[in-house]
Amino acid sequence: MKKEVMVIINLYKNFIEYGGAEKVAIDVHYGLTELGYECYLMGGNSFESNNSKYNIEKKQYKKFSALNAFNLKNTTIISHHRKNTTILFFLNKLLRLNIRLIHVAHNEFDNLKFFSYYPKEIITVSQRVKDNLVSFFNVNPNNITVIYNGLADLYDQLRDTNLSTDKIKILYAARITKVKGQVELVNNLKGKLNNNIQIDFAGTGEDDLELQAITKEDKNFNCLGFTNLSNEFYKYNYVMLFSSNEGLPLTLIESCSFKTPVICNDIGGNVEIIDDAVNGFVVNDYSSLLDLINNKLPEINPESYATMSDNARATFEKKFLKIKMIENYKEYIEKGKHVF
Is 97 inside a domain boundary? yes
Q: What is the rounded distance in angstroms from the CA atom of residue 211 to the CA atom of residue 242?
A: 15
For residue 50, how many other CB atoms are within 10 A of its CB? 20
* Structural domains counted in the chain: 2
CATH code assigned at 178: 3.40.50.2000
Is 117 inside a domain boundary? yes
- pLDDT per residue as tens digits for the range 161-188: 767 768 999 999 999 999 999 999 999 9
Is 77 inside a domain boundary? yes
- Regarding whether 291 and 211 lie in a shared domain, the answer is yes
3-state secondary structure of 1: coil
- Regarding whether 100 and 209 lie in a shared domain, the answer is no
- pLDDT per residue as tens digits for the range 31-56: 999 998 889 999 999 999 999 999 99
Is 158 inside a domain boundary? no
Integer angstrom CA distances of residue 327 from 44, 110, 331: 28, 31, 6
280-289: buried (b, 16+ CB within 10 Å) or exposed (e) per residue?
bbbbeebeeb
Q: What is the rounded distance in angstroms from the CA atom of residue 340 to the CA atom of residue 337?
A: 5
- Asked if residue 1 has pLDDT above 60, the reply is no
- Regarding whether 182 and 117 lie in a shared domain, the answer is no
Collect all residues with Cβ–Cβ distance below 8 Å to 139 and sequence separation of at least 6.
118, 122, 133
Is 157 inside a domain boundary? no
pLDDT confidence tier of residue 68, bands split at 50, 70 and 90 = confident
- Regarding whether 125 and 178 lie in a shared domain, the answer is no
User: Which residue range(s) make up the domain with 144?
Assistant: 5-150+321-337
pTM over 0.85: yes
